[in-house]
Structure 1
């Protein structure tokens, strides 16, 4: 088969394929900038892998890093990381669309399709108003959180407003975009129990993980939950339920742990417990060392990281809607219902198949990556599974082994972060974009299940 130039360009430039390609371009460009001497301190010979890993982690809004962000990167390099996180969180295609709107005042069909693929919008007419809300909402959250953090940093930690404002701006961008980069070597461990810092960051993480379509709907009808779509109901109530369950589990398991919450007062424990219920959903900040947390806590955190946040958000994972749809499938099967019903709506077979495909692909990816890293290192299963789940869920939490992994294992984590951000279905569709409409249906046969 001979490919013409036009057909080749059309194939590559299809929105579904262009989305992952754009992320790859962003990662490469970011990595090249981080390799520059102006971006890093010292004259370390190991530059390529730390730069590419940090760029991948930033563009995919993860936060995992093989080096100390505060010590390895110069202020310029840290600004580059912050910009890459902002671009990755907003979505490369979405950012391009907004810039096109600001400059040209109109949307081309291809650009609208790109934004649709990135933000999971069903109706193309929703792109323009939704993008305006996305931009206003994102920067409004970041500015307000940065102001609160700057005041707190100035009062309690720093002697000048410049340093306070820089720390506040950096962590505010990381919070809303659900990236776990920090200008402190120990993340938020030095701020354990400081509600004036922890709570604004938690609010930013929670808001960023809800998802842009849900935010747009809440702006219109937040006082009328009965009018919400099924997607918004699943995302909002599911996120709240997971937050409550995660907080209770974290506090119950770590309350008397001498390595984490044991030595602290009850208020510090409660604040850290709330953080522990939100950050594993994709935030990536931590006030405790997860390497000394109880194995049960690490297991709960693995589950929360794997589930992730809302669809079309800055969070990763299989998404809370996917998780709850699978729960409703199980419930319908136990009841013997022919259809999966949520509220007064029936969920279509195609949606359910997509949820099952996403979950199974994700399990296979995390399991395969975990086995691969185990074969390449001598670390324990708990530590490797935690790191791989964090990478796939674009969370950024770590048990401290990322920097000690060999390059082959680091490349595996980079691939996990990429797939976790772009999405398993989008990545698969970009490689196998074939939609066959059968002209006939074969006889049905039911194999034995279970």
Structure 2
């Protein structure tokens, strides 16, 4: 078995990663289908079990059943374990599985783990730049993944626990719900363990602030957390990837907050009845959660149409590379803007923080956006045909599925089985990653040793 794993990983690390991810979804589908997983001890329908398994492993947060009441204690434990496994990442997870089976972390496994922090390694093989984590540091990265996930979830749970007790929860339930919420925040999933969701804590800014901290740290990405662990006192030594991730993430948080204030301050169903301070905080909470967190203190369907479109944009962008968040990633957006600025200034090369960014990274970014937009477009067409619902509602839930965000207008829960399977496939495509999937489907990498005559088509 070890030889077979080594052979598969040698031929195509990305296909091996997708195989591991698919196998996990199949295993969890079977487990969620068992009568012991349901609160009423009945067999969960196949489409609901499949969707829940994909949503859990892909750390999405969308659901077709009531997560607080449908599952038994065994089912909730499955959810908790599944989101932590899925939050590790496709390629890092495959690397850990390969390490367990083959009992060594060879060059191919190191390349696979490094790819999760730097997708260009999948696209064009090993690269020389140290934008995220160098190949020799992969062992430390894997250790950082495990330690950071544990420390952050425990810390967030410790912040939530007193508020659970103040809300009147019994001791055992307070401990369980604290760790459950902490895991859902760090993995950017957004499931709620109680039937009322966040309603009991809608005005508890300590509770909501702790959730925002967990979501923010989870959305940064393990390479960024690794950079902090190595040298948080020396920001000048941080890589371009770390700086781009931080700058773009904070900029999107602030801009999102400002736009939510402008668009929703007079909406009586959302923030219209709040004072200025509450409106600012709730807008910040919404801005953080729309980029993959999945928690909400309001009904998403009550948002204005303009706010739904803004949320679509933020969800599609998502969080940092190699993070628990989804979307096309903030660094992809940053690269596109850097390319636009370079073109406007008449420069042939992109630059950021005193470093030159190669052109192949731009091609990779364009590919990610194109594949993501194509996935969203195809899924939207299919869901529109199946559900006959308004376009803005369908687009919102489809982007939420692709970006593994978890916010919903209520459409997903009312879909027929065929629509549920389409949404499950969309979540899988979004979590696995467009770059990883494209690399897995490529039969071989060919190198062209000649150049054809150049001709410039008209663009724009």
User: Structure 1 length normalisation: TM-score?
Assistant: 0.93
Greater displacement, 175-184 / 218-227: 218-227
Write out per-residue CA displacement over residues 187-211 of structure 1, whole angstroms, 9 at most, x where no aligned residue. Answer: 3233212111100110000000001
2:300 to 275, 280, 290: 290
Q: Is the 8 A contact 1:194 1:268 kept in 2?
A: no
The separation in 1 between residues aligned to 2:187 and 2:8, in whole angstroms, is 32
Using a 3 Å threshold, how does the CA distance of structure 1 residues 190 and 253 change in structure 2: closer, same or farther? farther
Deviations 1:378-428 (A, max 9, x none): 211111000000001100000011111122221111111111111101011
Alignment partner of 1:378 out of 374, 382, 388: 388
Most deviating of 440-449 and 39-48: 39-48
Contact 1:192 1:268 in 2 (8 A): no
Shift of 1:326: 0.4
Q: Distance in 2 between matches of 1:56 and 1:6?
A: 26
Match of 1:235 among 236, 245, 258: 245
State the partner residue of 1:254. 264
Change (3 A) 1:430 1:104: closer
Query: How far apart are the structure 1 equivalents of 2:214 and 2:353?
Result: 30
Q: Does the Cα contact within 8 Å between 1:116 and 1:124 map onto a contact in 2?
A: yes
Aligned to 2:446: 436
**TM-score normalised over the length of structure 2:** 0.91
SS in 2 for 1:346: strand
Task: Tell me the residue number matched to 2:134.
Answer: 123
Among 73, 76, 82, the alignment partner of 1:75 is 73
For residues 18-417 of structure 1, the aligned pairs below 5 Å read 18-42=16-40, 47-91=45-89, 93-95=91-93, 97=95, 107-120=105-118, 123-155=134-166, 157-417=167-427
Determine helix, strand or coil for the equivalent of 1:29. helix
CA distance in 2, matches of 1:103, 1:246: 44
- Structure 1 residue runs of 5 or longer lacking an equivalent are none
Q: Is the 8 A contact 1:255 1:261 kept in 2?
A: yes
| Farther off after superposition, 14-23 or 26-35 | 14-23
Q: For the Cα contact (< 8 Å) 1:16–1:117, is it kept in 2?
A: no
The one-character-per-residue Cα deviations of 1:149-169 (angstroms, maximum 9, x if unpaired) are 1111101x1242111111111
1:447 maps to 457
Please say which of residues 157-166 and 396-405 is displaced more in the overlay: 157-166
Q: Is the CA contact 1:19–1:118 (under 8 Å) kept in the aligned structure 2?
A: no
Offset of residue 283 of structure 1: 0.5
Alignment RMSD (CA, Å): 2.3
Which structure 2 residue ranges, 5 or more long, are not aligned? Answer: 119-131
Q: Structure 1, residues 51-104: CA drift from partner, whole Å, max 9, x if none?
A: 110110010010000010011111210110111000000136535655887999
Contact conserved, 2:320 with 2:329, CA < 8 A, in 1?
yes
Residue 314 of structure 2 aligns to a residue whose secondary structure is: helix
How many residues align structurally? 445
